[in-house]
Amino acid sequence: MVAIDCGLCKKDCVLIGGNLMIYVGIVLFIVAGVLLYFMKQNQGRVRQMKATETSTVNALEETAATIRDDLGGGASHWKAKAEVKGRVVCETPLEGQFTDVPSAVIHTRIVREWEEYRQERDSDGNSRSRWVRRSDTMHDDVRTTSFHIDDGTGQLRVAPNGADFTLNEVVDRFEPADRFDDGPSISFGPITLNVGGMGWGSSRRLIGYKVQESILPVGANVYGLGEVQDQGTSLVLTKSANTETAFILSVKSEEELIAQYEKTAKWQQIGAGVCVVIGVGLSVGHFL
């Protein structure tokens, strides 16, 4: 039998293993902090949605008109948090890259999926090889245009930039790698992407591309929560300068959104708790 010297004494191996435990523990604490941050964001959205009563467009316009009169006319610069529900009305709608449905908001995304050949060693020094799945976003584009929410009592203009969108998914397909020729660029309808530089070969192989498109179609029911501002001749629902104020535009109902945010926040809390427990365990184990 031939003995193989790894070049490290037992003390050195223990030290390396202990340091690795600390590093992993720190990473888990950071992940827990990120999860708690997003959990609080979702909980804040739920609190604002539950605390804000639905207003009619007519009621908002009457409030703004009263304030203008009290100030002697002109823009009142009145601002208030508002929740409005109605139907999307748009005079200059957009068309998607992969759908011709008239829309006020369009989110198009193309993700490249591929595999990388990796050789790894376990804690016992045994080598193993496997293909690891990877992905990178090649195209992520959100296009918006001004539209109105019509609730039957009036129309409220919406400036959608900066909103948290929940949209209707109209395209979700996978294009396999063998559909495309080798070359520096590929096309998906009107979109051309530069895909060179990956160095495909024995250690990397392309799986394909995931194409997704989601929209806020004209005529759809929409839920809006944000800040209504008096701009003199009209009101507009938009993103507040206060970053704590939620700005939400969704094809889902208020009840569906609350359930979604509550469920997400719950799992984020559970995930953060698991990361903290494992992180504490690894940190304590380092000193044992």
CA distances from 284 to 19, 225, 277 (A): 12, 46, 11
Q: How many Cα neighbours within 13 Å face the side chain of 23?
A: 6
Which structure tokens are listed for 39?
């959990």
Q: How far apart are CA 221 and CA 256, in angstroms?
A: 13
Q: 153 with 58: CB under 8 angstroms? A: yes
Q: How far apart are CA 182 and CA 187, in angstroms?
A: 12
**CA-based max dimension of the chain:** 99
Question: pLDDT tens, position by position, for the chain (288 residues)?
Answer: 444 444 445 444 544 445 667 788 888 889 999 999 889 988 988 999 999 999 999 999 999 999 988 887 777 789 999 999 999 999 999 999 999 999 999 999 999 999 988 887 766 777 888 889 999 999 999 999 999 999 999 999 999 999 999 999 999 999 998 887 777 788 888 888 887 656 566 788 889 999 999 999 999 999 999 999 998 778 999 999 998 899 999 999 999 999 999 999 999 999 999 998 888 887 776 565
> Residue 277: which H helix or E strand, with range?
helix 254-286
Q: What is the pTM of this model?
A: 0.79
Q: 48 with 246: CB under 8 angstroms? A: yes
**Which backbone phi and psi does 31 adopt, to 5 degrees?**
-60, -40
